Structure 1
Amino acid sequence: MHDTVWFEIQGLPAVSIASSEFAEAAEVQRKALGMEGARYLLVDHPIQDANDEEMRQKAREVFESVVTALTA
């Protein structure tokens, strides 16, 4: 979330992507960083033990949402 806020402050659209396990942490971070509108997307948890194909599938599942978040 820190990087997303930094990029947004620079005027560059950004979106964080995190595991669904970190939804609450994302909310807390964006509020603590003073940017409650910072965008983030969640992928299904867990990711740490996902193989390459599983990670590609997770990326495919959020791709359109990432594009929308960056261009809306």
Structure 2
Amino acid sequence: MQDAIVAEGLGIPAIGIMTSNFVTAAELMSRVLGADGYEFVVIDHPISSAGQEELMEQAVAAAVASAKILMLKSG
């Protein structure tokens, strides 16, 4: 989250991607960094035990969600 928020502050479009177990921590980090309500992508947890097919599905879903967020920010 910090990297994405700092990049955004520098005018560089960025997306935070968190697993579902870390949503609360990501929201807290956003508030602490002065970006309350910063929108980020959530993928399933855990990813360490996911197979290749499941990882690919999550990557595609994250890419689609990221594109939607970036398009909303730019438009």
Gaps of 5+ in 1: none
How many pairs were matched up? Answer: 72
Normalising by structure 2, we get a TM-score of 0.85
**For 1:1-72, what aligned pairs fall within 5 Å after superposition?**
1-72=1-72
**2:4 & 2:39 partners in 1: Cα distance?**
8
The CA deviation string for residues 24-50 of structure 1, in whole angstroms up to 9 with x for no partner, is 001100001111142211011111212
**1:56 & 1:39 partners in 2: Cα distance?**
22
Greater than 4 Å deviation, 4+ residue runs: none
| Identity among equivalent pairs (%) | 33
- Name the structure, 1 or 2, with higher relative contact order (CA <8 Å, separation 6+): 1
Q: CA RMSD in A?
A: 1.2
Gaps of 5+ in 2: none
